[in-house]
Structure formats: C-alpha cells, structure tokens
Amino acid sequence: MRMNYPIKVITTTALLLFVVLGQTPAQRLSDRYFGISEQDFVDTIKIQIWDGAIVVPVEIEGETKNLMFDTGAGTGFWIGKEEAWMEPMGDSIPTTDAQKRTKKKALMKIPSLKMGHLTIKGYPVVVDEGLDNFTCGIIDGAFGFDLVCKGISFKFDTRDSLLIMTSRKGFFAKEERGHAKVPYKVYGNQPFLWTKIPFARPRMLFDMGAVGGWFGLPQDLLDLWAKDNPDIKRQLDEMTVNVDTTVMTYAGLFGASYDTVINGELCFPTIEIGDLVLKEVWVSTATHNRAVGSAILKHISLIIDAPKKSFYFLPHDGNTEITVANRGSGFRLAPAEEGDTLGAVKAIVRKGTKAYEKGLRTGDYLISVDGTPIQDMCTYMLLERQGTTKRFVFRSPEGEIKEVE
C-alpha cells in the first residue's frame, strides 16, 4: 500500500553533548593543565551556526578542526578515536552523560591548538567514540566552559556568525549597556542562571551543547512543585496541551539511549531570563535535565563576561520580547536501536500532531530521501544540511510504504 502525504520532515533528534565533571577535578584541569599564549588580546573569528550551536574552526597539527562551544561541558571532549598527537594526562576522571550514566574516562590533552591568533596549550579533552554516529563530521569535539573560567570573555554574534574573544576587562561594556545583566553561578565548571516561569524561579544550566533544544523541565520536578500546592497544579493543568507515552532519545558520550516515558507537552505563556521575555514557549517534560539549550541563540547574540560572571542577551531585532512558538511538528528522527535489521533510522511521532494525523507512527523506518537510500543516521543528516531534501519514503515494521513530501 502506498500513501502520499504533503508534510515536511523538519528535524532530527536534538543532541545533548555532556561532560559533567566534579568541582575539584574540573578546577584542577583548568588551573593546572592548560594555558593561553596571550594575556592582553582581542580576536574575531568567523564561526558556523548549527541549529543555534556555535562551531569554531581551530588549527591542530596543521589541520582545521571544528569544535563546538559547549557551556554544558566542564571541560573539552573529542569525538572519535585517540589521535597520535594527543598526550595522556594520567588518572581517569568520572564523567556523566545526558542519560546520567557515569563512567571513568581517560583524559588526553591537545598539546597545542590555535583559535584565531590565540594558542591554547595542553587543553584537556575526554576522548570518546560514542558520538561518531550522531555528529557525522559536523564537529570534531568541543570546548567546555573552562575557557570562560580561565578568564576569557566571549561575544557570540549569531546574526553575523562571528565570535569575538578577549582577556580585557570591560571590553564589552559599551555593548552591554542597556542590556540586563544575568549573573551566573559556576558549579563543576558549568554556568547556572535563574529563570522565571509562571509558577517558579528555577535555576537552569545554560547548555549550548543541547543542540536545537529550548528548555528542559523534568516531569518529576513539576510533580514535586505541584504536590502540595493546588495553585501550581491548576496552572500546570491549564498549560498542559498533551500527555502521552513517547520515546525519549538522547545522544550522549556513551552512545544513544531510548526510554519510554510519560511525556507532557506544555505551553508556557512566558519564560523570563533577566529582561528577556520569551513568549509562547512549548516545553516537553521528556528530559532528565533542567537546562536552557542552544535554540535561544537563533534569536539573540550572547556576551559572556568572565570577570563579571554574567550573561548579556542581545536580541537581533532589539526587542526584548520574543515570541518563540516552538511547538514544531511533533515529529523527529533518531537512529534505530543497535541490532535492528529492518532499518537504520526511525521516526518518533507524537499523538495528535499533523504527522500522526497523516499516518506516520513512532517506529516507522526512513528508507530513502530523494531516492538516496538511508543506511545510517549520518547519511540523512548530511542530506538535511544541504537544505534541498523533498521526498521521503518510510516503511512501517509491517512493510507498509508511506511517501512524505
């Protein structure tokens, strides 16, 4: 049976790239192991923007590599196998990925890397192959927030795709003027800031490594808030649009995880971060983490002022009120489970959405895009990045063919 549906495939599953280090090991890495070549500098670098995430070109051993700037990571990490030029750093260190799984990982260091005119020596990285199948050569690794803890301030100009970095105190003072300062607290070399939602003021991790993500609020946290407060429970009930059982997928340092969870979909009328007011924000509770993701950088530029330990959010159009309306299509793609012989990429479809009404179901396999067979997640992601994909063919586990445009 063949069905033709006029819906557009929007996005893949968001990547959550985590390296969570204990406070003492993280501080030891920053203070002891890596240094920078200049103490009084300003530099500007052309960057790429990947679904809101910041991708910075660097030079290592004469080759250009792309490192994401991941504020959700206490220090850097490298995707793939150990390289011959890496140097071991001795003891292993505990790491926790997005699924809250903990392992001890050997640390390596990059002897020397150039970011613009700045040379960073001995930068520590956790090396892991777990993300190879999800980043697909888009990034080679990541910087952690330890660069900021080292005293470097950054401006991420996401409108013009520029990164400005400096060690000079007060360099961004003129641009910061007129924008509310949002202080952050550092725990384990990660920045946390206060937000305001309709019924609480949660402290959130600002995680630029949550690629394409907006806000994560775990269901158990909402249940805790509502347990003894009828008013909060009433507000949550009013803002809850849909509740169903869905598949939650995470790509972390140790591969992918698939959990079947009860997922609530809520529409918050506002979320405030300092003077920045985000309106009509759709929030899913299918998450383990309480975090603000990279998608916010699609609408704003960001200054991280290291000496002041503060964020400054600079809306692209100057308006501090942004209507997000990020509900999406209720449709995502994720790699199939290991050992699945029916296909390599599977759909995750929420009930009640347009994709569901048109016949797509969670568990349908993506077979081809514009005639190109999809044999792994990377094939799809690289096609998607070209921005020209039009015709998708799915097959249900029972063999039913579904064409989607």
**Tokens matching residue 57:** 């070109």
351-405 confidence digits (pLDDT tens): 777 788 888 998 999 999 988 999 888 888 778 777 677 788 999 999 999 998 7
Establish whether domains 15-169 and 176-323 are of one fold: yes
pLDDT of residue 132: 67
Nearest-angstrom CA–CA distance, 61 and 56: 16
pLDDT of residue 25: 47
- Mean pLDDT lowest for which of 202-211, 265-274, 324-333? 324-333
Confidence of residue 32 (pLDDT cuts 50, 70, 90): low
The conformation of residue 306, written as its DSSP 8-state character, comes to T
Query: Hunting for tokens 């039009």 — which residue is that?
Result: 390
Q: What is the mean pLDDT of residues 221-241?
A: 93
Name the residue among 124, 172, 174 with its Cα closest to residue 152: 172
Confidence of residue 99 (pLDDT cuts 50, 70, 90): low
- Fold of the 176-323 domain: Cathepsin D, subunit A; domain 1 (2.40.70)
Q: What is the mean pLDDT of residues 291-320?
A: 94
Cβ atoms of residues 108 and 87 within 8 Å: yes
Cβ atoms of residues 96 and 26 within 8 Å: no
Count other C-beta atoms under 10 Å from residue 280's C-beta.
15
Q: Is 234 helix (H, G, I), strand (E, B) or coil?
A: helix
Cβ atoms of residues 127 and 81 within 8 Å: yes
- Fold of the 15-169 domain: Cathepsin D, subunit A; domain 1 (2.40.70)
Nearest-angstrom CA–CA distance, 333 and 14: 9
Q: Is 187 helix (H, G, I), strand (E, B) or coil?
A: strand
Nearest-angstrom CA–CA distance, 381 and 344: 13
What is the residue extent of each domain of the chain?
15-169, 176-323, 330-404
* CATH class name, domain 330-404: mainly beta
pLDDT at residue 194 greater than cutoff 50: yes
Q: What is the mean pLDDT of residues 36-44?
A: 91
Q: What is the mean pLDDT of residues 44-51?
A: 92
pLDDT of residue 7: 43
**Tokens matching residue 56:** 């910075």
pLDDT of residue 246: 66
pLDDT at residue 76 greater than cutoff 80: yes
State the average pLDDT for the chain.
83
Confidence of residue 255 (pLDDT cuts 50, 70, 90): low
Q: Which residues pair with 402 in a beta bridge?
A: 3, 394
Nearest-angstrom CA–CA distance, 52 and 41: 26
Nearest-angstrom CA–CA distance, 125 and 70: 12
pLDDT of residue 405: 79
The most confident of 70-79, 126-135, 327-336, by mean pLDDT: 70-79
Q: Is 267 helix (H, G, I), strand (E, B) or coil?
A: strand
pLDDT of residue 259: 63
pLDDT of residue 1: 38
pTM: 0.84
Percent of the chain with pLDDT over 70: 81
Between 255 and 218, the more confident residue is: 218
The most confident of 74-78, 137-141, 294-298, by mean pLDDT: 294-298
Query: 47-81 b/e with 16+ CB inside 10 Å = b?
Result: bebbbbbbbbbbebeeeebbbbbbbbbbbbbbbee
| Three-state secondary structure string covering 338-405 | CCCCCCCEEEEECCCCHHHHCCCCCCCEEEEECCEECCCHHHHHHHHHHCCCCCEEEECCCCCEEEEC
Q: What is the mean pLDDT of residues 223-238?
A: 94
The most confident of 128-137, 330-339, 363-372, by mean pLDDT: 363-372
pLDDT of residue 128: 77
Residues 6+ apart with CB under 8 A from 303: 153, 154, 155, 156, 172, 175, 176, 311, 312, 314
Query: Hunting for tokens 């100057």 — which residue is that?
Result: 318
pLDDT at residue 211 greater than cutoff 50: yes
| Three-state secondary structure string covering 70-137 | CCCECCEEEECCCCCCCEEEEEEEEEECCCCCEEEEEEEEEEEEEECCEEEEEEEEEEECCCHHHHCC
- Mean pLDDT lowest for which of 78-87, 128-137, 325-334? 128-137
pLDDT at residue 327 greater than cutoff 90: no
| C-alpha distance across the termini of the chain, in Å | 17
Cβ atoms of residues 84 and 28 within 8 Å: no
C-alpha of 178 from chain center:
28
Confidence of residue 70 (pLDDT cuts 50, 70, 90): very high
pLDDT at residue 151 greater than cutoff 90: yes
Confidence of residue 13 (pLDDT cuts 50, 70, 90): very low
